[in-house]
Structure formats: C-alpha cells, structure tokens
Amino acid sequence: MITLPEKYIPLNPDVENFLAQTHKLYIGGEWLPAQSGKTFPTIDPSTGRELTQVASAESADVDVAVTAARRAFDEGPWRNRMTAAERSKLIWRLADLIEAHGEILAQLDSLDNGKPLNTTRTDDVPLSVDHFRYYAGWPTKIEGATIPVNTPGMFNYTVREPVGVCGLIVPWNYPLLMAAWKIAPALAAGNCIILKPAEQTPLSALYLAQLFEEAGFPPGVFNVLTGFGHTTGAALTEHLRVDKIGFTGSVETAKHIIKASVSNLKRVTLELGGKSPNIIFADADIENAIVGATWAIFGNNGQSCTAGSRLYIERPIYERVLQGMADEARKIKVGPGMYTEQPDIGPVISREQLDKVLGYVDEGYAVGGQTVTGGKRMGGEYTEGYFIEPTIFTQVDDGARIAREEIFGPVVCAMPFDDPDEIVKRANATEYGLAAGVWTRDLARAHRMAAALQAGTVWINTWGDTDAASPFGGYKQSGHGREMGKEALDLYTEVKSVWINTDG
C-alpha cells in the first residue's frame, strides 16, 4: 500500500485498491501484461514519489491490440450487427458509470497530474460525462444524403461510415477529459479504439477501461495501451492496420506523427499547442478583464493548450491591469492537488517540465525581462514537488523566445500596445492559431476583432469556455480538424457515395 503525505485527503478505498493492483494492458476485453514484462512508474508531481507501476507496451503489444481492435471492427457486433440506437445506449451507460465512479476518477487524475481535487471533481470529470452524453445522442443522427445527380435513371446517395481502428494519443494536462474528447465521437461514429494515455498520467484511462467492461461494450471496441511516446505511440502511428490517429500534444510530436502516418497514409487529426494572444482594450470592464486574464494564463497552471500566454494591454490601462493581475496572482494558492486544504492550482507535471519552464524564466531575465510577481520554484514544504510561482513578465519584446514559444507553464508576458489597428497584426504574428481573447465593451470592435484574429476559438470578455457541442481546434500549426460538436464526427467518418442504375 502506498503512503501519501499526512495532509492528503484520505483516499477513497477503491482508489487505494486500484493503486495496489498490478496494472496491465487492456486488449480485446482482457487484461494482459506487456510481452516484455516491462513496467514503468507513474509519479505524483506534488511529491516526486511513485504512485504505482503500469505496463510498458511496445510494438509487439501494439500489434496484438491492433489485431483485437481490427477483429472487433471487421467482424464484431459493434459496427456490423448493433443498431445505432444500441450503440447510443451503451455510450450513455458509460457516461452514467463515469458519473457514478466520478470520485475515483477525480482522485486518480489529481494524484497523477497534481491538479486540485476540487478541479477534477467539478471540471474534468463532469465535463467528461457531458461529453459522452452529448455524443451518446449522435449515432442515430449521423445521416447521409440523396444527391440530385445530372444523369437520368441514376440514384445517388451518401452514407457516413466509421473510419475503422483509431489510435487515440492523448496528453497529461487533462487526462480523462482529453481522452473523452476523442473517444466519445469515435464511438458515436462506430469506430474501434486503441487509447494511449500520456506516460505521466495513465491511471484514469486504465480505470475507464474497467467501466467500458462494466458497461458491456463488445471486446476489442476499446483498448488501452500504457507506454511511452517513442515506443507505444510511434508503433501505433506507424502501424499499417491502424486507419486513423487522433492526437493531442506538442507540435514537435505532431510532426513525427505525420511522418509515421505516411506508412499507410492513415488519417491524422491534430490538436496542438498555442501562444494565444489575449487583448485588453482601455474600454473594457477592467476588473473583469484583470480576473479573466489572470485565470486565462494561470488556470490549470498554464498547462492548457489555450493558455492566454501573450497578454496585450492598451497603454492607458497598462499599469493598472498589471498591478491588478499581480495582486490576483499573489492570492493564488499553489499546492498539492490532494491537500485537505485545497489549493487553486497544483504543481507542473514533471521534473522535465519544471526544468523547461524555469529555463524559459531564466532566459526571460537574461533578455532584460522583469517579473512583477513570481519567477521562482517554490521551496519549503514544497521542495520535493514541481511547484512554480505564478509568474508575470514585463519588459519583453514580441520577438523574445518567451513571448513566441509555448511554455506550457504558469508564465505570461504582459506587453503594452498603442494602436488598436496594429494589435491584430501583432496578435496574428505567430505560427500558432488555437485561441485568442478580446476584452472590450465596444460591440462593433468585438466583432471586428473576432473576424480578424486567426484562431480556432475567439473569446470575447471571457476565456477558456468549451462545450461538447461547440467545435474546437486550431488554425496554422495549432492543428488539423475540429474536435467537439458535430464537426468532430467528420473526423471519425468516411463518406461513401453510392450510385444505382435504376434503369438497369
């Protein structure tokens, strides 16, 4: 049994049992060890201590999982004999089970990722449930069309068919939710799935597999392979019998995935990073903007692909907003996500990420940047974990690396602007295009900005909202395709056009 720090919330008994288990791979409805026998530890980033060991899948395991998923897709009942209404019911049942076991999943994600239990309880888990419920309604609504073609006697119609076996590769920042974003539409469209959770946060995916089992999905429809990117992930993306990869993660990894996908020209959809501009005009509701811009960056500890990490403030209100944000940031409680006295945000995910973020901070200082708050790793009782103070940089140029590159941590660059017409150019001068924000009371300006910003999501007088029903994704190097809403179903279906000669 693992011993957790004294100040931790007592673990749910099912979580304790789960952590004590030997974690295997979930393939074709069975739990199998990795063929190599290898395992790897998953770490609590609040303490740097091991939580448990999970199986480390390699290409031989990927092959077995692909065979199981293929069989389920090509021969099993899921796509061939079940009706859309039956699939719909199963997805809904899964959502109910996630909700019923929500506390377990919330604790697992908090332990594994470090984020506050309050957050996984109120955001990650309920949003995942919403997501499955939204897509549970879709199987009976995925329709084709009849096409009035210009040939006498020809009847032409379309059907939307599932793509096939989908490898879904997800990151560690919202472990359960990122998996749900992909699994739910893939299931709704009738695909079979091999999920590869991030090596930093494999636990909720393994627990989810138990719920798939309990819900009664046919074997092989949902499989989980825990393992590393360069082994499990690479083998999945190269595999000739995988039809599609759905990926969320870094641009660098996405480029590897595209290269590997060349093997069989499998479909690839990508939800990548950002360096999202957040623009505050002098006519904004300043107090709202201060709180909004603070949480745009520090929400989830800056470990969100949509983090509002480039902050542009109109000159007349620059000092006031900066001071307001510094005050807000100092009020943020940072601490272990499982502490009885709940923090607002947790640690960063890993030692590697800690070093990367602190490297950017050092570089920010080296190029003349100054911090109005933060800028350091936290010590004291937090020495063992990967805690960084919420950090606001000023005196940084748009061209500096910390203002251009995705840091994926609690660091924002605050920059003034003078010319409302110029700011669009500065905001768009990035290789990314995931999200953008605008704070203004001028309705016409809000619409002009929404049209001019090159981003998949634009938030006006708000930040960070997403909904299962609303499409989400990136322009430019922030991605390919859209998740959520009915748009996501396009990513998980192929369109077939059928011609019938009715004169024949």
Among 42, 261, 269, 454, binds Mg ion (CB under 5 A): 42
Site track 151-180 with ligand ADP (rule: CB under 6 A), x = hit: ------------------xxx---------
Residues in the chain: 504
**Binding of residue 461 to ligand ADP (CB under 6 A):** no
In angstroms, the CA 196 to CA 209 distance is 12
DSSP secondary structure code for residue 232 in this structure: I
Identify whether the C-beta of residue 373 lies closer than 8 Å to the C-beta of residue 272.
Answer: no
Among 43, 168, 225, 290, binds Mg ion (CB under 5 A): 43
Selection from ligand ADP, Mg ion, none that 129 binds (CB < 5 to 8 A by kind) is: none
Which CB, 66 or 106, lies closer to Mg ion? 106
Q: In a 3-state reduction of DSSP, which class is residue 194?
A: strand
CA 136 to chain centre: 20
Q: How many CB atoms lie within 10 A of CB 287?
A: 11
**Binding of residue 182 to ligand ADP (CB under 6 A):** no
Q: How many CB atoms lie within 10 A of CB 447?
A: 12
Which CB, 169 or 290, lies closer to ligand ADP? 169
Which tokens is 347 given? 């640690």
**Binding of residue 198 to ligand ADP (CB under 6 A):** yes
Selection from Mg ion, ligand ADP, none that 42 binds (CB < 5 to 8 A by kind) is: Mg ion
- Selecting among 305, 314, 406, 413, the annotated active-site residue is 305
Q: What region, left, alpha or beta, does residue 164 occupy, with left being phi > 0 and alpha being psi -120 to 50 degrees? A: left
C-alpha distances (whole Å) from 40 to each of 25, 62, 219 are 13, 17, 26
Identify whether the C-beta of residue 275 lies closer than 8 Å to the C-beta of residue 430.
Answer: yes
Among 131, 196, 239, 482, binds ligand ADP (CB under 6 A): 196
> Is 413 part of the annotated catalytic residue set?
no
Site track 462-491 with Mg ion (rule: CB under 5 A), x = hit: ------------------------------
Minimal distance, residue 181 CB to Mg ion, in Å? 20
Minimal distance, residue 406 CB to ligand ADP, in Å? 9
**Binding of residue 202 to ligand ADP (CB under 6 A):** no
Minimal distance, residue 175 CB to Mg ion, in Å? 9
**Binding of residue 448 to ligand ADP (CB under 6 A):** no
- Give me the sign of the Cα torsion angle 55, 263, 218, 139: positive
**Binding of residue 52 to Mg ion (CB under 5 A):** no
Which tokens is 21 given? 């288990």
- DSSP letters along 346-400, please? ---S-HHHHHHHHHHHHHHHHTT-EEEE--SB--GGGTTS--B--EEEES--TTS
Which CB, 107 or 226, lies closer to ligand ADP? 226
Q: How many CB atoms lie within 10 A of CB 216?
A: 10
Selection from ligand ADP, Mg ion, none that 43 binds (CB < 5 to 8 A by kind) is: Mg ion
Question: Which value, in Å, is the radius of gyration of the alpha carbons in the chain?
Answer: 23
CB-count exposure of residue 362 (10 Å: 0-12, 13-18, 19+): exposed
> Is 271 part of the annotated catalytic residue set?
yes
Site track 319-348 with Mg ion (rule: CB under 5 A), x = hit: ------------------------------
Which CB, 194 or 317, lies closer to ligand ADP? 194
Counting Cα atoms < 13 Å in the Cβ hemisphere of 351 gives 7
Nearest-5° angle of CA 452, CA 457, CA 460?
70
**Binding of residue 230 to ligand ADP (CB under 6 A):** yes
Selection from Mg ion, ligand ADP, none that 230 binds (CB < 5 to 8 A by kind) is: ligand ADP
Minimal distance, residue 317 CB to ligand ADP, in Å? 34
Q: What does the binding site for Mg ion look like in residue numbers (CB under 5 A)?
A: 42-43, 112, 200
Active site residues: 271, 305
Q: What does the binding site for ligand ADP look like in residue numbers (CB under 6 A)?
A: 169-171, 196, 198-199, 228-230, 233-234, 237, 249-250, 253, 256-257
